Structure 1
Amino acid sequence: MQYAELVAALDRGEVLRRALALLAVGSEVAWTARPDANGGLMLEQVTGDCSGVLRALRVPPNTGLTGKVYRAGRAEWVDDYFGSQEITHDFDRHMATEKVRRVLAVPLLREGESFGVLALGPREDGTFGDRDIEHASMIAAQAALAVSVAERARLSREVAIHEERRRLAADLHDSVGALLFAIGSGVADLAESAQVDPELRARLDRLQRQAVDATTALRESLRTLRSSPAALALGVALRADCVAFADRTGLPAELVILDGEPPELAPSRSDVLVTAVREALLNVEKHAHASAVTVSVQRSRPWLTVAVHDDGVGVRPDHRPGLGLTSTAEALARLGGSVRVVSDPDGGTIWRARLPC
């Protein structure tokens, strides 16, 4: 039931608020910390506090119990916070202000990916027992899974939004852009035939300049609509290819982005991956006799892996790479990557490309 409540949130902030509510009771203080760009942490959610000194507090790498747990990736606790020799005491003033006496911290881990730390700070003296540690670890594991689901849902929403923006840009280009071009051309033709009337010619020249200005403004707007944040660009492009594949073949093609956002890739590297996936989808269309396709993206340092998985006839034993697969392998190899095509034991074919990230 607890996990169901967490997953139902589908929002990182709400997931962590509910996790803290499950963890802290009575006068206890609890908080969550998320990684920042500098390798440290920042407290993002705090409950039960009375002074506000913990809110948005930055935790440098490996400082305090929270930083120690994030680096170690395992639960840690101190029954006497101020007397412990096992942690740094950078935050003694903060703990004293909140009257915290002891702290239990557990990592938010899911399949090797760390989403931060969940911590509990009772204000009463005592010791943490096995049940306390087990309870906190269970909530942290459920919260990490729920955060993972929420992050994937958020990314899917953002990719869908940017995909819709690109579709809208294409529609505006084909409709409004074409109309402005026609208006400008028509005005130019009229201007040519109105040379005997200087006043009319001046008015037509002004209209022509306005049409040019409107076309320029539209072009800038379309460029903004088409652009995607670098971290979303790969997902937007691959989703568009899945939609195009489904439109061509009538077969469902789903994009699945695992473990949060893909890394920001240079356009040249992203182009190689997108081209490779298009070639893989084309091979599915030609040879697989499949009924469904899944394209998945997963970041597992130091690799970014993109896989195309179909449920078709699989790879023949005498399969030899064709020109498309050979070209893909060479392009990826130039960037330090690789590609493999194998039969799935459960049926179908798995095409998998890896690229350092």
Structure 2
Amino acid sequence: MAPDGANAPADPERRLRMLLDVSNDLTRRLELPVLLRRLVEVAVDLLDARYGALGVIGTDRRLEQFIHVGIDAELAAQIGPLPEGKGLLGVLIDDATPVRLQRLSDDSRSSGFPSHHPPMDSFLGVPIRVGDEVFGNLYLTESSRGEFSAEDEELALALAATAGVAIENARLFEHRRQLELLDERTRIARDLHDHVIQRLFAVGLNLQATAGRLPTDIAELVVAQVAEIDGAIAQIRQSIFSLSVTGAAKDRVRARILDVIDRFQGRLQQPISARFAGPVDLLADAALTDDLVAVVTEGITNAVRHAAATKVSVAVTANERELIVEVDDDGAGPPDDVRLSGLANLHARANARAGSLDLVQAEGSGSRLRWRVPLRSAD
């Protein structure tokens, strides 16, 4: 039997004030992990529940995160692994509609609890949507009034809607911060590549030229120092690559293109330069990344083998509508017959994406290979 007042509704004015405070609070907290835990804490307080949790749905339609409140760390360790999204939790993932139960054990979809898990009877679960996506579910158990009411369900849905907006804002904030960090790392890498390496390279060439006019014993010392400079250049190139490749970023466009360029370094009189503009890594999926790497590889190969170039530059530009790769060289210019074997492959890759490939005279002298593909249909 429920205690006196167990089914009495909570003060609606207090709940409204709390919901408004929560809305302001959540929109101020931009760190997503902090926001999610705060959301569960607020939900437990707002709906007078003893336990609360938030399950984040992964790409495999299982729970990839499970943030819980009400069970301390020691008890959680005794219970064991966090839920993966089976039983009633899995039902909420597969059918994103609210579930409200007076007793969990009475529902045939409930899979029970592991050892050491505290008893839980009343249950309320609602989906959290971010735009058209179901981000996860908010779970509450053990209402202080014995069971959750229809009013509780409405309040939980309102809180979930607020949370959806806050989560979307947090994602945008993190996205923007990652872009800023990526741009800063790219700027540093570009400065190292375009200024420091080129100056060291020029110093090495000058020393090599000077060594030819010196006595043998002194020339050997100079050549040894040139080797040290070459080693320093190799280390700087590795540092540049490390700035662009961290953890899961090994397959990003910038990293893979810089890797291609690094393999060609030393085959021209001047270092190959690279320039990136726009959110290249964010707009290119794995298949498009493969195409871009092929374009850069073939463009540099043609410049080295067929154009007798001494200088090559690579530019990759992306916006919300299109992605463009340009490979410029100072070689002999485009031949009259541009049916080079590699270009047929690049033409095919461009055509498959409703794009284009051009090999034209660059400004001044040399050639410009320009590969362009739309990222989405024009409005």
Q: TM-score range by the shorter chain?
A: 0.5 to 0.7
The total of aligned residue pairs comes to 266
Aligned to 1:39: 61
Indicate whether 1:72 and 2:90 are aligned: no
Q: Distance in 2 between matches of 1:34 and 1:68?
A: 14
Q: What one-letter code is carried by the residue in structure 1 that aligns with 2:89?
A: T
TM-score in terms of structure 2 length: 0.60
SS at match of 2:114: helix
Aligned to 2:76: 52
Between the two proteins, what is the percent identity of the paired residues? Answer: 19
Indicate whether 1:266 and 2:287 are aligned: yes
Aligned to 1:320: none
Q: Distance in 2 between matches of 1:48 and 1:123?
A: 13
Q: Is the 8 A contact 1:230 1:265 kept in 2?
A: no
Is the alpha carbon distance of 1:133 and 1:123 closer, same or farther for their aligned partners in structure 2, counting shifts above 3 Å? Answer: closer
Deviation, structure 1 residue 263 = 7.6
Q: Distance in 1 between matches of 2:24 and 2:56?
A: 22
The structure whose Rg is larger is: 2
Q: What one-letter code is carried by the residue in structure 1 that aligns with 2:219?
A: R
Aligned to 1:28: 50
Is the alpha carbon distance of 1:354 and 1:170 closer, same or farther for their aligned partners in structure 2, counting shifts above 3 Å? Answer: same
SS at match of 1:178: helix
Indicate whether 1:218 and 2:236 are aligned: yes
Q: Is the 8 A contact 1:101 1:124 kept in 2?
A: no
Deviation, structure 1 residue 221 = 2.0
Structure 2 unaligned runs (5+)? 1-19, 258-275, 294-318, 324-347, 356-373
Deviation, structure 1 residue 15 = 1.4
Aligned to 1:158: 178
Q: Distance in 2 between matches of 1:178 and 1:352?
A: 34
Deviation, structure 1 residue 145 = 1.2
TM-score in terms of structure 1 length: 0.63
Deviation, structure 1 residue 140 = 1.0
Q: What one-letter code is carried by the residue in structure 1 that aligns with 2:63?
A: L
SS at match of 1:223: helix
SS at match of 1:119: strand
Deviation, structure 1 residue 130 = 0.9
Q: Is the 8 A contact 1:11 1:147 kept in 2?
A: no
Q: Is the 8 A contact 1:45 1:55 kept in 2?
A: no
Q: Is the 8 A contact 1:180 1:215 kept in 2?
A: yes
Q: Distance in 2 between matches of 1:232 and 1:12?
A: 24
Q: Distance in 1 between matches of 2:287 and 2:128?
A: 30
Deviation, structure 1 residue 193 = 1.9
Q: Distance in 2 between matches of 1:205 and 1:132?
A: 80
Deviation, structure 1 residue 59 = 1.5
Q: Is the 8 A contact 2:130 2:167 kept in 1?
A: no
Q: Distance in 2 between matches of 1:332 and 1:223?
A: 28
Aligned to 1:141: 161
Q: Is the 8 A contact 2:131 2:164 kept in 1?
A: no
Q: What one-letter code is carried by the residue in structure 1 that aligns with 2:24?
A: A
SS at match of 1:28: strand
Q: Distance in 2 between matches of 1:79 and 1:269?
A: 54
Is the alpha carbon distance of 1:34 and 1:101 closer, same or farther for their aligned partners in structure 2, counting shifts above 3 Å? Answer: same
Is the alpha carbon distance of 1:43 and 1:103 closer, same or farther for their aligned partners in structure 2, counting shifts above 3 Å? Answer: farther
Q: Distance in 1 between matches of 2:81 and 2:350?
A: 42
Q: Is the 8 A contact 2:57 2:65 kept in 1?
A: no
Deviation, structure 1 residue 34 = 1.0
Deviation, structure 1 residue 129 = 0.9
Is the alpha carbon distance of 1:163 and 1:195 closer, same or farther for their aligned partners in structure 2, counting shifts above 3 Å? Answer: same
Q: Is the 8 A contact 2:193 2:240 kept in 1?
A: yes
Deviation, structure 1 residue 83 = 2.4
* CA root-mean-square deviation: 3.7
Structure 1 unaligned runs (5+)? 243-254, 273-294, 297-305, 309-329, 339-350
Deviation, structure 1 residue 142 = 0.8
Cα deviation, 1:155-200, whole Å, max 9, x if unaligned, reads: 111112111211211111122112211221232123212234x2x2
Deviation, structure 1 residue 262 = 6.2
Indicate whether 1:173 and 2:193 are aligned: yes
Matches within 5 A, 1:92-241: 92-93=113-114, 97-122=117-142, 126-196=146-216, 198=217, 200-227=218-245, 229=249, 241=277
Is the alpha carbon distance of 1:227 and 1:92 closer, same or farther for their aligned partners in structure 2, counting shifts above 3 Å? Answer: closer
Deviation, structure 1 residue 23 = 0.8
Q: Distance in 1 between matches of 2:375 and 2:65?
A: 38
Aligned to 2:297: none
Is the alpha carbon distance of 1:41 and 1:175 closer, same or farther for their aligned partners in structure 2, counting shifts above 3 Å? Answer: same
Q: What one-letter code is carried by the residue in structure 2 that aligns with 1:209?
A: A
**Which segment is superposed worse, 219-228 or 2-11?**
219-228
Deviation, structure 1 residue 207 = 0.6
Cα deviation, 1:317-336, whole Å, max 9, x if unaligned, reads: xxxxxxxxxxxxx978734x
Q: Distance in 2 between matches of 1:227 and 1:74?
A: 41
Deviation, structure 1 residue 213 = 0.9
Q: Is the 8 A contact 1:31 1:43 kept in 2?
A: no
Is the alpha carbon distance of 1:241 and 1:19 closer, same or farther for their aligned partners in structure 2, counting shifts above 3 Å? Answer: same
Q: Distance in 1 between matches of 2:62 and 2:221?
A: 64
